[in-house]
Amino acid sequence: MVLEGEALVEIAGATHRMGVHDTTWVPADVPHRFVNAGPGRLRIFWTYASVDATRTLVATGETRRIDAERR
């Protein structure tokens, strides 16, 4: 869900514009990314179905658990 700003979201090669409170659902194993499309800050909220979920970076092929990304 977009909390602030505007986003372009690319899901499986298709691009969609999103604004505040717009929400999307992306199935596992579908390449996707969110890009800031506005002049200000982009804030998004995302959640995973399981703490065991992983993220694979398309550019490098690196896969890691999402719980390893906590700051």
Q: What is the token pair recorded at 47? A: 């959640």
pLDDT band at 68 (very low <50, low <70, confident <90, very high): confident
Q: What is the token pair recorded at 8? A: 């372009």
**pLDDT digits 0-9 by tens, 7-19:** 999 998 899 999 9
Phi, psi of 25 (to 5 degrees): -125, 130
Distance CA 37, CA 56 (A): 23
Taking the alpha carbons of 20, 39, 26, 16 in that order, is the dihedral positive or negative?
Answer: positive
Task: Quote the pTM value.
Answer: 0.78
pLDDT band at 70 (very low <50, low <70, confident <90, very high): low
**One-letter amino acid of 39:** P
Average pLDDT over residues 62-68: 86
